[in-house]
Every structure is written in structure tokens, then in C-alpha cells.
Structure 1
Amino acid sequence: MSTTSSIRHQIPFPERDPEELLTLSEAADILRVPINTLRWWRQTGKGPDFFKIGRHLVTTVGDLRRYIREQRRHNHS
């Protein structure tokens, strides 16, 4: 793991830059769900927004935060 990556993972999620890119694996870790669950949600249009950079699926910290807020709001309705 690179030094930049190590430092980034020490920053708590709420304090991260909203434009920071997250891999599928990193998003799964934050949401505490298996990677395949995120893949299924993406396929069915139910999960957080992901986009491709080259061959890699990524999302942003801001998009993941928005998804979490939407889920919280939906579950409290």
C-alpha cells in the first residue's frame, strides 16, 4: 500500500474530501457489505452512483455520503 493510500485510510470517512475517489472495495468496506452486493445494486440501479475510469469502477466520497443519507431518510419514512 502506498504512503498516500495509508494516510488517506487514517482519515475518518466524515472528514474526507467529497471529491475523493473510492474503489468498489473501499465503498463496500465503508458500507459493510460484500463487493458482490454493490455489484448487484449497481446492476439493478439501487446502489450508490459508480462510474468508470478506465477499467475501474469508482464513486466519490460525496456520492457515497448522499446514498447513505437517502437510505437513512427512506428507512425513517
Structure 2
Amino acid sequence: MASRTNRPTGRLLTVAQVAERLNTSQRYPRRLIEERRIAFVKIGRHVRIPESAVDDLITSGLVEPVRLRIRRAA
């Protein structure tokens, strides 16, 4: 039996809960699942997304601000 290294952590969220958290329609999380761009768990016919996968998705899209240095004329 293969070892399982990618176990979901935290709560398992429904598609509706993920959509609410991302402030989108349910269509976006369903597209992420269809394109295999987010980890998900199938329990029978139900699909659940680990909370950690949603956090990873948000973190991967994070853009840090650019800090400009002001040079003073001598």
C-alpha cells in the first residue's frame, strides 16, 4: 500500500462554503476542481475541499507590495 503524504488538514468545506470564502459564485470552485487546480476529497458523490487547500490557493495568489525608495538629491 502506498504511503499517504498529502493528507487534508483542517475542516472539509463544501463548494458553497469555499465560494462564500472566496467571495465568488459556486462556479469558480467547481472549475478549480474540474481543472484539478485545487485539492479535493470525494466522499461518495459529495465533493469536499480541505480548508488548507483554500488557504494555499489564496496564498499562491498573494502579491506583495513594492516598496519604493525615495532618493534625496545631495
Tell me the TM-score range normalised by the shorter chain: 0.5 to 0.7
Query: Between Structure 1 and Structure 2, how many residues are aligned?
Result: 56
TM-score by length of 1: 0.61
Counterpart selection for 1:23 from 14, 18, 21: 14
Q: Which runs of 5+ in 2 are unaligned?
A: 1-8, 65-74
Larger radius of gyration: 2
The corresponding residue for 1:51 is 41
- For the aligned residues, what is the CA RMSD? 1.6
Deviations 1:50-77 (CA, angstroms, capped at 9, x unpaired): 22111111111111111110111xx45x
Q: Which runs of 5+ in 1 are unaligned?
A: 1-17
Larger helix proportion, structure 1 or 2?
1
Moved over 4 A (4+): none
Identical residues among aligned pairs (%):
23
Q: How does 1:5-44 map to 2 (within 5 A)?
A: 18-44=9-35
